[in-house]
Amino acid sequence: LALKQDNFKDNRSFLDMHKQEDLHIYLEVKEELDEMKKAAGSQLIENILVEHGITTVMELREQEEALENLLGRLARELKLSYQEIAKMTGLSYSMVQRLVQR
Protein backbone atom coordinates (compact mmCIF):
# COMPACT_ATOMS: atom_id res chain seq x y z
CA LEU A 1 0.00 0.00 0.00
CA ALA A 2 1.69 3.15 -1.17
CA LEU A 3 0.29 6.22 0.49
CA LYS A 4 1.11 9.70 -0.73
CA GLN A 5 -0.69 12.00 1.69
CA ASP A 6 0.63 14.74 3.91
CA ASN A 7 -1.67 13.70 6.76
CA PHE A 8 0.24 10.51 7.58
CA LYS A 9 3.92 9.94 8.24
CA ASP A 10 3.89 6.46 6.77
CA ASN A 11 1.64 3.59 5.75
CA ARG A 12 1.52 2.25 9.32
CA SER A 13 0.04 5.50 10.70
CA PHE A 14 -2.59 5.40 7.95
CA LEU A 15 -3.51 1.78 8.74
CA ASP A 16 -3.52 2.45 12.51
CA MET A 17 -5.95 5.32 12.01
CA HIS A 18 -8.37 2.99 10.21
CA LYS A 19 -8.27 0.47 13.07
CA GLN A 20 -9.54 3.04 15.60
CA GLU A 21 -13.18 2.96 16.58
CA ASP A 22 -15.11 5.64 14.77
CA LEU A 23 -18.58 6.83 15.79
CA HIS A 24 -18.92 8.94 12.65
CA ILE A 25 -21.32 7.65 10.06
CA TYR A 26 -20.36 7.49 6.38
CA LEU A 27 -23.28 5.76 4.66
CA GLU A 28 -25.53 6.80 1.84
CA VAL A 29 -28.48 4.40 2.11
CA LYS A 30 -31.11 5.71 4.54
CA GLU A 31 -31.98 2.33 6.07
CA GLU A 32 -28.32 1.56 6.68
CA LEU A 33 -27.82 5.06 8.04
CA ASP A 34 -30.65 4.61 10.54
CA GLU A 35 -29.26 1.27 11.71
CA MET A 36 -25.73 2.65 12.00
CA LYS A 37 -26.97 5.67 13.97
CA LYS A 38 -28.72 3.38 16.42
CA ALA A 39 -25.68 1.11 16.72
CA ALA A 40 -23.40 4.11 17.27
CA GLY A 41 -25.88 5.45 19.83
CA SER A 42 -25.93 2.14 21.70
CA GLN A 43 -22.13 2.07 21.71
CA LEU A 44 -21.95 5.64 23.01
CA ILE A 45 -24.46 4.85 25.77
CA GLU A 46 -22.48 1.76 26.76
CA ASN A 47 -19.21 3.73 26.82
CA ILE A 48 -20.71 6.43 29.06
CA LEU A 49 -22.21 3.86 31.44
CA VAL A 50 -18.89 2.03 31.75
CA GLU A 51 -17.07 5.34 32.24
CA HIS A 52 -19.36 6.14 35.18
CA GLY A 53 -19.32 2.61 36.60
CA ILE A 54 -23.05 2.02 36.21
CA THR A 55 -25.21 -0.34 34.18
CA THR A 56 -28.36 1.58 33.24
CA VAL A 57 -29.30 5.02 31.98
CA MET A 58 -31.73 5.29 34.91
CA GLU A 59 -28.74 5.18 37.27
CA LEU A 60 -27.17 7.99 35.25
CA ARG A 61 -30.14 10.21 36.20
CA GLU A 62 -28.43 10.73 39.56
CA GLN A 63 -25.56 12.41 37.70
CA GLU A 64 -27.57 15.00 35.80
CA GLU A 65 -24.61 16.68 34.09
CA ALA A 66 -23.42 13.34 32.70
CA LEU A 67 -26.96 12.51 31.56
CA GLU A 68 -27.31 15.88 29.82
CA ASN A 69 -23.95 15.33 28.13
CA LEU A 70 -24.98 11.88 26.89
CA LEU A 71 -28.36 13.04 25.57
CA GLY A 72 -26.79 16.08 23.92
CA ARG A 73 -24.20 13.95 22.16
CA LEU A 74 -26.86 11.53 20.92
CA ALA A 75 -28.88 14.43 19.52
CA ARG A 76 -26.09 16.60 18.12
CA GLU A 77 -23.33 14.19 17.09
CA LEU A 78 -25.44 11.27 15.92
CA LYS A 79 -28.48 13.32 14.84
CA LEU A 80 -30.90 11.02 16.65
CA SER A 81 -34.42 12.36 17.21
CA TYR A 82 -35.76 12.89 20.71
CA GLN A 83 -38.14 9.99 20.12
CA GLU A 84 -35.26 7.68 19.10
CA ILE A 85 -33.22 8.76 22.12
CA ALA A 86 -36.18 8.20 24.47
CA LYS A 87 -36.70 4.71 23.08
CA MET A 88 -33.00 3.82 23.37
CA THR A 89 -32.57 5.17 26.90
CA GLY A 90 -35.93 4.33 28.46
CA LEU A 91 -36.45 7.99 29.37
CA SER A 92 -39.59 9.91 28.52
CA TYR A 93 -39.71 12.04 25.40
CA SER A 94 -40.33 15.17 27.48
CA MET A 95 -37.32 14.48 29.72
CA VAL A 96 -35.06 13.96 26.70
CA GLN A 97 -36.35 17.17 25.10
CA ARG A 98 -35.90 19.19 28.29
CA LEU A 99 -32.36 17.98 28.99
CA VAL A 100 -31.11 18.29 25.40
CA GLN A 101 -32.43 21.85 25.07
CA ARG A 102 -30.65 23.10 28.20
Per-residue pLDDT tens digits for 54-90: 999 999 999 999 999 999 999 999 999 999 999 999 9
Instruction: Answer whether 0.75 is exceeded by the pTM.
Output: no
19-28 pLDDT, tens digit per residue, is: 666 656 555 5
Contact 71, 85 (CB under 8 A): yes
For residue 90, with 0-12 CB atoms within 10 Å meaning exposed, 13-18 middle and 19 or more buried, which class applies?
exposed
